[in-house]
């Protein structure tokens, strides 16, 4: 137990913390730009300077650990003068864009300039000009506003696994950009919009559309991720303007996937109003009568044979998605009854383990036919952190792209069946299983559960190709019928 003094307050500290972390724990405000709770300490901005009574010069609170008997002052004249000098240096090349900046109203540089900055500028030279970088279709860049806090770089390297984003040049020629020309494209890249303390990185789709003080805030649950983390929906009138992460560091580390961040576009602008047929990369809108003709030609003979009870070996199953409404469920049931079957399957929420519980505790995991980087970017980011802590990963299924090394064991369903029967070398390892929620039906067999009793199973919420694969294994559906059913859903 350490005893330190901050502003003449006696504080007892258990762990090895920095001055800034200790102050945040006891709700003592110290301004900072480069420090962030989920990023490594950099100490670039020097905005968090405080006075140590035992030293002659101010110290950076984010990079100095506390020691017993330490005496710190955060509001003395020496600390204020140091922060004022740092702000004057940062504002030398910062443009006066506040009236047109999307960060206005929630900009750290604005707030700290008002609280700690000088009321008179002494710089009368020309400001430098920096070329804007291409960060993709979601992130708008105005690099003249950048203060080189390197939050975006540390996020890209530590959490995304992108090492091509960095700093080039020195002094007034210092710039942040890509060493190789590419876009900042990952499932969680939009979080740099929230991490940037100034207006250098903002949301490109919603530039110049609202001000923060016009919005009403409402906490909500992220239903588009298996984390089920808390998000913050901001509304103006009856329209959703943006979705932000709610900083609950026990679940999502204050991050949200790009799909969740921009999903409300489908509510406002990108609604599907008529049937669409996909040919390669082209989408063609057709009428309801045309789609009925296409479906009848493709499956008329199968449906007719079913009604005449000639194809008794064909299994007809109704699939109900996770987000299906009640009206669609009733219509699906009526169609199944008209085909002479009552096989109606729903996704069993009782068999779901979410990724925010202890199911992620382990040293090895098996991922079954699931592209986590696209469908579950937050879970992918969490697994990458575990990989950096010497956790091993294995994969069964078709090719998928990961930002960390994962050993592809097989792409054949026969290997998965042998694994479920306990006949592979993977069964000797204590591996956790990560797969689609529809695969939970495979693990209802008591014999399989006995074989995997020492292995943690976790299922995500998004039904995909895995649902077809698992139902084919369980019901022995003929390969040709399986292909036609899959084609039918592609047409819809």
* Residue 434: pLDDT band with limits 50, 70, 90: confident
What pLDDT is stored for residue 355 in this prediction?
Answer: 39
Q: What percent of the chain has pLDDT over 70?
A: 73
- Tens digits of residue pLDDT in 212-222: 999 999 888 88
Tell me the average pLDDT across 380-389. Answer: 84
Strand residue runs (E) in 302-456? 318-320, 344-346, 364-368, 392-396, 407-410, 432-436
pLDDT at 278 over 80: no
The encoded tokens of residue 159 equal 């959490």
Tell me the average pLDDT across 176-204. Answer: 88
* Residue 275: pLDDT band with limits 50, 70, 90: confident
What pLDDT is stored for residue 316 in this prediction?
Answer: 59
What pLDDT is stored for residue 365 in this prediction?
Answer: 83
* Residue 306: pLDDT band with limits 50, 70, 90: low
pLDDT at 475 over 60: no
DSSP, collapsed to helix, strand or coil, labels residue 331 as helix
Least confident of 39-43, 366-370, 472-476: 472-476
What pLDDT is stored for residue 459 in this prediction?
Answer: 47
What pLDDT is stored for residue 484 in this prediction?
Answer: 32
Write the class of the CATH domain 349-476.
alpha beta
Tell me the average pLDDT across 476-481. Answer: 36
Q: Which is more confidently placed, 26 or 375?
A: 26
Whether the CB-CB separation of 62 and 18 falls below 8 Å is answered with yes
- Tens digits of residue pLDDT in 149-178: 999 999 999 888 888 889 998 888 899 999
Whether the CB-CB separation of 12 and 3 falls below 8 Å is answered with yes
Write the class of the CATH domain 129-268.
alpha beta
314-326 core/surface letters (b: 16 or more CB in 10 A; e: else): ebbebbeeeeeee
pLDDT at 119 over 70: yes
Write the class of the CATH domain 2-90.
alpha beta
Least confident of 225-229, 316-320, 410-414: 316-320
* Residue 471: pLDDT band with limits 50, 70, 90: very low
Q: What is the DSSP letter of 190?
A: G
Map out the domains of the chain as residue ranges.
Answer: 2-90, 129-268, 349-476
User: Facing residues of 9 across strands?
Assistant: 6
Mean pLDDT across the chain:
77
What pLDDT is stored for residue 341 in this prediction?
Answer: 61
Identify which of 144, 140, 42, 53 has the alpha carbon closest to the alpha carbon of residue 91.
Answer: 144
Tell me the average pLDDT across 359-374. Answer: 74
What pLDDT is stored for residue 480 in this prediction?
Answer: 33
What pLDDT is stored for residue 277 in this prediction?
Answer: 78
Whether the CB-CB separation of 431 and 362 falls below 8 Å is answered with yes
Identify which of 311, 320, 309, 310 has the alpha carbon closest to the alpha carbon of residue 343.
Answer: 320
pLDDT at 463 over 50: no
What pLDDT is stored for residue 469 in this prediction?
Answer: 39
What pLDDT is stored for residue 357 in this prediction?
Answer: 41
Identify which of 229, 217, 233 has the alpha carbon closest to the alpha carbon of residue 257.
Answer: 229
For residues 200 and 394, give the distance between their C-alpha atoms in angstroms, rounded to a whole number: 39
What pLDDT is stored for residue 249 in this prediction?
Answer: 56
Query: Model-level pTM?
Result: 0.75
């Amino acid at each position: 137990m350490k005893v330190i003094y901050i502003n003449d307050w006696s504080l007892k500290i258990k762990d090895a913390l920095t001055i800034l972390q200790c102050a945040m724990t006891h709700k003592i405000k110290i301004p900072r730009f480069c420090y962030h709770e989920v990023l490594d300490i950099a100490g670039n901005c020097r905005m968090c300077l405080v006075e140590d009574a035992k030293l002659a010069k101010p110290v950076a609170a984010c990079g100095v650990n506390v020691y017993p008997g330490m005496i710190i002052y955060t509001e003395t004249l020496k600390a204020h003068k140091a922060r004022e000098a740092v702000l004057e240096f940062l504002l030398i090349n910062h443009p006066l864009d506040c009236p047109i900046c999307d960060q206005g109203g929630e900009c750290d540089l604005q707030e700290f300039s008002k609280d700690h900055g000088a009321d008179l500028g002494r710089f009368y030279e020309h400001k430098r000009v920096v070329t804007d970088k291409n960060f993709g279709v979601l992130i708008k860049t105005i690099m003249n506003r950048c203060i080189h806090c390197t939050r975006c770089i540390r996020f890209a390297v530590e959490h995304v696994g992108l090492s091509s984003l960095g700093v080039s040049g020195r002094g007034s020629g210092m710039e942040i950009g890509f060493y190789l020309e590419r876009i900042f494209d990952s499932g969680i890249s939009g979080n740099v919009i929230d991490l940037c303390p100034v207006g250098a990185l903002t949301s490109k789709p919603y530039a110049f559309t609202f001000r923060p003080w016009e919005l009403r805030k409402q906490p909500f649950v992220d239903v588009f991720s298996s984390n089920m983390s808390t998000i913050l929906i901001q509304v103006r009138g009856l329209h959703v303007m943006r979705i932000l992460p709610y900083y609950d560091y026990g679940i999502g580390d204050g991050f949200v996937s790009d799909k969740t961040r921009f999903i409300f576009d489908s509510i406002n602008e990108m609604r599907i109003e008529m049937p669409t047929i996909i040919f390669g990369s082209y989408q063609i809108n057709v009428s309801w009568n045309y789609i009925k003709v296409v479906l009848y030609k493709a499956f008329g003979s199968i449906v007719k044979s079913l009604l005449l009870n000639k194809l008794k070996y064909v299994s007809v199953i109704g699939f109900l998605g996770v987000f299906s409404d009640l009206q669609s469920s009733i219509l699906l049931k009526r169609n199944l009854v008209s085909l002479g079957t009552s096989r109606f399957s729903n996704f069993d929420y009782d068999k779901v383990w979410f990724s925010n519980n202890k199911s992620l505790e382990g040293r090895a995991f098996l991922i079954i036919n699931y592209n986590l980087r696209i469908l579950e970017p937050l879970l992918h980011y969490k697994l990458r952190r575990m990989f950096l802590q010497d956790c091993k990963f294995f994969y069964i299924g078709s090719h998928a792209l990961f930002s960390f090394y994962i050993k592809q064991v097989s792409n054949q369903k026969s290997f998965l069946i042998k694994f479920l029967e306990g006949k592979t070398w993977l069964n000797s390892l204590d591996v956790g299983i990560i797969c689609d929620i529809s695969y939970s039906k495979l693990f209802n067999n008591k014999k399989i559960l006995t074989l995997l009793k020492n292995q943690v199973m976790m299922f995500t919420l998004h039904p995909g190709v895995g649902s077809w694969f698992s139902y084919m294994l369980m019901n022995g559906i003929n390969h040709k019928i399986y292909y036609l059913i899959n084609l039918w859903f592609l047409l819809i």
